[in-house]
A and B are shown apart, each in its own frame.
Chain A
Amino acid sequence: MTDLLKILENDARLSPETIALMLDKEVGDIKKMIDEYEREGVILGYRTEIDWDKTDREYVSAMIELKITPQRDRGYDHVAQKIYNYPEVESLYLMSGSFDLAVFIKGKTMREVAFFVAEKLATIEDVISTSTHFVLRKYKDNNIVYGSVPVDERGNEF
């Protein structure tokens, strides 16, 4: 039932009643499916998309490329765990290509991020090198274009 997931992914605030109408299903079935998805970890949470640039929060975000020596038996998983356990780390991906792990973090200042990289990431035993890229501007995230307010420009005829 990827339809249900797509609808929720796009708008988690739609009620089961509304979704049931949209998909021509029973409300009870929709609730049951959502419960099941939550239990199985298909649905992991419900979040809000916020354009922090429109608030007075001061922050910087960065992507850090890490090169890693994978360990026998445990591959990358062990070092990945060491990294994602830091609450500062928002996302962590294992990548193909010229580096191994992509770490996304947000900090209050560039200093704070630099400090985190130098003190926390670079010091992990299996980390060979780090390369830090600061985000200058977020154009689009999770299918939402940032910075603009949607306006219905349609004329009214026909």
Chain B
Amino acid sequence: MLDYSKIISDTVQDIKPSGIRKFFDLLDGRRDVISLTVGQPDFITPWHIRVAAIESLENGKTYYTSNAGTMELRTEISDYMHRRFSLSYDPKDEIIVTVGGSEAIDLCIRTLVNPGDEVIIPQPSFVCYGPITSLAGGVPVYVETKEEDNFKLTPEELKNAITPKTKLLVLPFPNNPTGAIMTREDLEKIAEVLRGTDIMVLSDEIYCELTYGREHVSIASLDGMRERCVVASGFSKTYAMTGWRLGYTLAPREVTKQMLKVHQYAIMCAPTSSQYAAVEAMRNGDPDVDMMRSEYNRRRRYIVAGLRGIGFECFDPEGAFYAYPNVSRYGLSSEDFARRLLDEAGVAVVPGTAFGDCGEGFVRISYAYSVEHIAKALDRIEKFVNNL
């Protein structure tokens, strides 16, 4: 028997599996559980978008596309980002179509980070930035965003985290799991810190269409920021297309040119039929997005009011589709709270610690579920905390 621990790369062995995953394993085989855990839309991809992919298959579009994606799709992405967020990127050499937002993040980090470089990662946040940084030989530097700051990254905290080794700042807003957003004023303060440095920004804007009350602003649209930004986004959350695995990067051509090499060798190109579907999504998907956004918004108001009614302190999330209530008043760790809620009340939520140590004291509750489903879960949660 081989001793795999001596064979498998030390870097990979040192990476912890996703804390979200770990919690889901507890769910396996339990049937009475109401889950509020998933991080993907409950809507099925709109039919007209699915039809576009089906037609592409009927027409025999089964070959690789060019490495960066079809010109048609890149042009649509360029038009869309301009129309929605005032960003100007040349479809010819500043856009890469990727396998989900995840690949976009991976491309950016691997292309920019030298061994030993520091990557500043606000937490709580999605789980992938740190491990990908480590795989690239970089050093993740975590910065805690706090409830009293509405889980925004503050310029002071950013300044404190910057060292001569800082290569990259990850800006994951609208944020999973907190639902926090960064307004133009918030971003302007961050931009002020970065101007005149060589620090790059990876702006993960996968939830850019899911903001409630005000429009998302991309940091790349602020003065002098474009040259240092890589915008990563995708189709998963906006068009309910998680399974299609399609995202993209927007970056200055010098950066895109280098990222394209990584993409070329690792991926070749994003799935062809998904790209055809995505063209249709961007051309004719606005009404779908409006419908889904307004539906999420209703659920958001309902769940936040419900949680507060039960007695939770709950930050008002302005983006994504998660509520992030503070559970510390019940005297349990996040993980114990989530575990007991599952065991005793049959409701599954994700402990905040899955998104960084600073998630202690919080749980993530997804509202990508019907109001009826949420109502049942809230009932159970209320009974549970009343018995604590």
A1-41 residues with Cβ-Cβ distance < 8 A to B are: 3, 7, 11, 14, 18, 21-24
Q: Mark B238-276, 1 if CB is under 8 A from A, else 0.
A: 000000000000000000000000000000000000000
Q: Is the CB of B371 within 8 A of A22?
A: yes
- The answer, yes or no, to whether A87 is at the interface (CB within 8 Å) is no
By secondary structure, the B interface counts as helix
Residues of B within 8 A of A156 (CB): 20, 24, 27, 35, 37-38
Residues of A within 8 A of B37 (CB): 156
- The answer, yes or no, to whether A97 is at the interface (CB within 8 Å) is no
- Known contacts: A11-B372, A18-B371. The answer to whether A158 contacts B39 by CB under 8 A is yes
Q: Provide the bound-state CA to CA distance between A82 and B38, in Å.
A: 54
Q: Is the CB of A22 within 8 A of B18?
A: no
Q: Is the CB of A21 within 8 A of B305?
A: yes
Residues of A within 8 A of B39 (CB): 157-158
Interface centre among A3, A22, A154, A156 (most CB of B within 10 A): A156
B79-87, B115-123, B295-303: which lies at the interface: B295-303
Q: Is the CB of B299 within 8 A of A22?
A: yes
- The answer, yes or no, to whether A73 is at the interface (CB within 8 Å) is no
Residues of B within 8 A of A155 (CB): 38, 40
Closest to B372 in A: A11
B4-35 residues with Cβ-Cβ distance < 8 A to A are: 18, 20-21, 24, 27, 35
Q: Is the CB of A157 within 8 A of B371?
A: no
B44-100 residues with Cβ-Cβ distance < 8 A to A are: none
Residues of B within 8 A of A152 (CB): 35, 42
Interface centre among A22, A154, A157, A158 (most CB of B within 10 A): A158
Q: Is the CB of B126 within 8 A of A18?
A: no
Interface centre among A11, A21, A24 (most CB of B within 10 A): A21
| Smallest CB separation, A124 vs chain B (Å) | 41
Q: Provide the bound-state CA to CA distance between A3 and B301, in Å.
A: 15
Q: Provide the bound-state CA to CA distance between A3 and B295, in Å.
A: 10
Residues of A within 8 A of B126 (CB): 158
Q: Is the CB of B38 within 8 A of A7?
A: no
Q: Is the CB of B371 within 8 A of A14?
A: yes
| Smallest CB separation, B29 vs chain A (Å) | 13
B211-244 residues with Cβ-Cβ distance < 8 A to A are: none
Q: Is the CB of B298 within 8 A of A158?
A: no
Q: Mark A144-158, 1 if CB is under 8 A from B, else 0.
A: 000000001011111
Residues of B within 8 A of A23 (CB): 298, 301
| Smallest CB separation, B34 vs chain A (Å) | 11
Q: Is the CB of B38 within 8 A of A21?
A: no
Q: Is the CB of A18 within 8 A of B35?
A: no
Closest to A15 in B: B375
- The answer, yes or no, to whether B311 is at the interface (CB within 8 Å) is no
Residues of A within 8 A of B302 (CB): 18, 21-22
Q: Mark A115-152, 1 if CB is under 8 A from B, else 0.
A: 00000000000000000000000000000000000001
| Smallest CB separation, A75 vs chain B (Å) | 36
Residues of B within 8 A of A7 (CB): 298
| Smallest CB separation, B363 vs chain A (Å) | 15
A95-131 residues with Cβ-Cβ distance < 8 A to B are: none
Q: Provide the bound-state CA to CA distance between A3 and B38, in Å.
A: 27
| Smallest CB separation, B233 vs chain A (Å) | 15
Q: Mark B287-310, 1 if CB is under 8 A from A, else 0.
A: 000000010001101100110000
Write the residues of chain B forming the contact surface with A, with a CB cutoff of 8 angstroms. 18, 20-21, 24, 27, 35, 37-40, 42, 126-127, 176, 294, 298-299, 301-302, 305-306, 371-372, 375
Sample of 7 further A-B pairs with CB below 8 A, known A154-B38, A156-B24: A21-B305, A23-B298, A154-B40, A154-B42, A157-B21, A157-B38, A158-B39
Q: Give 12 CB contacts A-B under 8 Å.
A: A11-B372, A21-B302, A22-B301, A23-B301, A152-B35, A152-B42, A156-B27, A156-B35, A157-B21, A157-B39, A158-B38, A158-B39
Closest 6 CB pairs of A and B: A22-B298, A158-B39, A156-B24, A21-B302, A21-B305, A154-B38
